[in-house]
């Protein structure tokens, strides 16, 4: 019949596999188009008149039958997002299938019509993407580990630089203690007014030495990044204690102005101290030729409006207009940043210091630490006044867990069922 051959011709030229089973006759196949032959590697002649149990493994046939029955029972279309058929030659074919119940009024038969799309290539690409993504995640974790090691290495270097100064700061209270012991060991006269003073001074000296040593130990600790709610002024105090000797020795006057009631920031104390020590020591070096060396540390809260100059793109990545941030500035009156160096300041191993005075890792590590805090480090010249400013922008909110984006399978309205469709029951 003309109409019949047109339909057959259309079906055989469709890029999707089409089949139909007669639910009123043991779900025997009544339709099996060209693409279905290709996908299953079964000729229509072998399949028509057979059912799933004749063609596929028991397990697969059970599954197909259960879906077919559900389609009939529901009387509506059902989607099978992914099923796998293993062909005669052992190839796995991934299919996305839609099953539709069809009532043939002419014959009164109830059919289950299936349309399957071969998604093998898509699945393979997706799997490859997932594999690549896993590798990327691994590489990223590896990179983070390496970065933490680098941060620690740079920290050990700063400890080396600070050690002599810290020892000096500890020796002063020790000197005081020894003088106290010298005095008291010559006998204590109950009426001697000096005794009370000496004991108070000795107690203060012990506290002072203890604070310095504890500060250094905390600073040296090697841990993964652990951020805690922190008052910024506390960090600044601790850091100034550790660099006091460098500042005094270099004759640097320090003024600290930290706004009252500054919002809490979320810092890894030890790593953040590393940043500040680095920036302060840099500032001290930059001022080595200056007549009167002045280091200013300023901190204030700000609501961001628009973008910060010079760093538009980076700022836009990290902050939004209206974000509340804490701005910490370290200002020096040194030589400032030479235009030729401006673009290279954060490059690893870039240094303007003589050999032996710096590895050139300090600023690149400092910036990385600040970024790990969700913040921004900007270095620029002060403009009207001589010298440079290191400006830190820190978020006052801790970012909620970022959602890691991975390749996701398409939308599914039924759980994916993978079918191990063995072809051993091929024989009729």
Partner 1 sequence: MARKILLVDDEAGFTELLKMNLERAGGYEVRIENDSTKALAAVRSFMPDAILLDVVMPGMDGGDVQAQLQANPLLARIPIVMLTALVDSTELSEGAVAQAGSQMVLPKPVNLPLLLRVLDDILPAETAA
Interface residue list for partner 1 (CB under 8 A): 164, 167-169, 171-172, 174-180, 182-183, 186, 194, 197-198, 201, 204-205, 245, 247-249, 251, 253
Residue closer to partner 1 by CB (options 250, 381) is: 250
Query: Of 387, 397, 414, whose CA–CA distance to 80 is shortest?
Result: 414
CA distances, 355 to each of 45, 275, 350 (Å): 85, 21, 11
CB 293, min distance to partner 1, A: 11
CB 171, min distance to partner 1, A: 4
CB 365, min distance to partner 1, A: 25
CB 172, min distance to partner 1, A: 5
Distance CA 115, CA 31 (A): 11
CB 239, min distance to partner 1, A: 17
Residue closer to partner 1 by CB (options 180, 336) is: 180
Residue closer to partner 1 by CB (options 94, 245) is: 245
Token representation of residue 420: 């191990």
Query: Of 311, 281, 330, whose CA–CA distance to 375 is shortest?
Result: 311
Residue closer to partner 1 by CB (options 353, 382) is: 353
Q: Which residues contact 198 (CB under 8 A, 6 or more apart)?
A: 180, 183, 184
CB 322, min distance to partner 1, A: 43
Residue closer to partner 1 by CB (options 254, 262) is: 254
Distance CA 31, CA 347 (A): 68
The three state secondary structure string of the chain is CHHHHHHHHHHHHCCCEEEEEECCCCCEEEEECHHHHHHHCCCHHHHCCCCHHHHCCHHHHHHHHHHHHHHHHHCCCEEEEEEEEECCCCCEEEEEEEEEEEEECCCCEEEEEEEEEECHHHHHHHHHHHHHHHHHHHHHHHHHHHHHHHHHHHHHHHHHHHHHHHHHHHHHHHHHHHHHHHHHCCCCCCCCCHHHHHHHHHHHHHHHHHHHHHHHHHHHCCCCCCCEEECHHHHHHHHHHHHHHHHHHCCEEEEEEECCCCCCEEECHHHHHHHHHHHHHHHHHHCCCCCCEEEEEEEEEEECCCCCCCCHHHHHHHCCCCCEEEEEEEECCCCCCCCCCHHHCCCCCCCCCCCCCCCCCHHHHHHHHHHHCCCEEEEEECCCCCCEEEEEEEECCCCCCCCCCCCCCCCCCCCCCCCCECCHHHCC
First to last CA, the chain: 29
Residue closer to partner 1 by CB (options 193, 383) is: 193
Distance CA 71, CA 80 (A): 11
CB 295, min distance to partner 1, A: 12
CB 382, min distance to partner 1, A: 24
Residue closer to partner 1 by CB (options 9, 186) is: 186
CB 201, min distance to partner 1, A: 4
CB 366, min distance to partner 1, A: 26
Residue closer to partner 1 by CB (options 137, 178) is: 178
Residue closer to partner 1 by CB (options 30, 176) is: 176
Residue closer to partner 1 by CB (options 164, 342) is: 164
Residue closer to partner 1 by CB (options 137, 164) is: 164
CB 292, min distance to partner 1, A: 11
């Amino acid at each position: 019949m003309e109409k019949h051959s047109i339909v057959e011709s259309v079906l055989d030229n469709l890029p999707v596999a089409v089949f139909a089973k007669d639910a009123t006759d043991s779900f025997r196949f009544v339709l099996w188009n060209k693409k279905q032959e290709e996908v299953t590697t079964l000729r229509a002649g072998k399949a028509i008149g057979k059912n799933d149990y004749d063609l596929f493994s028991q397990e697969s046939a059970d599954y197909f039958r259960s879906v077919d029955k559900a389609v009939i029972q529901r009387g509506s279309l059902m989607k099978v997002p992914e099923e796998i058929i293993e062909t005669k030659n052992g190839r796995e074919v991934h299919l996305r299938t839609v099953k539709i119940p069809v009532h043939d009024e002419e014959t009164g038969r109830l059919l289950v019509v299936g349309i399957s799309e071969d998604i093998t290539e898509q699945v393979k690409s997706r799997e490859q993407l997932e594999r690549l993504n896993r590798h990327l995640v691994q590489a990223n974790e590896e990179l983070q580990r390496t970065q933490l090691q680098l941060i620690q290495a740079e920290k050990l270097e700063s400890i080396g630089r600070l050690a002599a100064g810290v020892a000096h700061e500890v020796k002063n209270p020790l000197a005081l203690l020894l003088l106290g012991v010298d005095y008291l060991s010559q006998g204590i006269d109950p009426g001697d007014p000096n005794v009370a003073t000496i004991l108070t001074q000795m107690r203060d000296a012990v506290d002072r030495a203890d604070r310095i040593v504890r500060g250094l130990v905390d600073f040296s600790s090697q841990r993964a990044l652990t951020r805690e709610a922190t008052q910024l002024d506390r960090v600044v105090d601790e850091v100034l204690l550790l660099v006091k000797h460098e500042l005094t020795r270099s004759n640097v006057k320090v003024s600290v102005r930290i706004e009252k009631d500054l919002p809490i920031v979320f810092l890894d104390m030890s790593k953040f101290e590393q940043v500040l020590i680095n920036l302060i020591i840099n500032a001290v070096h930059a001022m080595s030729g200056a007549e009167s060396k002045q280091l200013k540390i300023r901190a204030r809260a700000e609501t961001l409006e628009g973008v910060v100059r010079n760093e538009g793109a980076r700022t836009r990545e990290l902050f939004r207009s209206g974000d509340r941030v804490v701005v910490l500035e370290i200002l020096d009156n040194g030589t400032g940043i030479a235009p030729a160096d401006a673009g290279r300041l954060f490059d690893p191993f870039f240094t303007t210091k003589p050999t032996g005075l710096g590895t050139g890792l300090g600023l690149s590590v400092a910036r990385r630490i600040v970024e790990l805090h969700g913040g921004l480090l900007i270095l620029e010249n002060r403009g009207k006044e001589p010298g440079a400013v290191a400006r830190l922008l820190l978020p006052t909110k801790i970012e909620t867990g970022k959602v890691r984006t991975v390749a996701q399978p398409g939308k599914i309205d039924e759980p994916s069922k993978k079918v191990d469709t063995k072809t051993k029951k091929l024989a009729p």
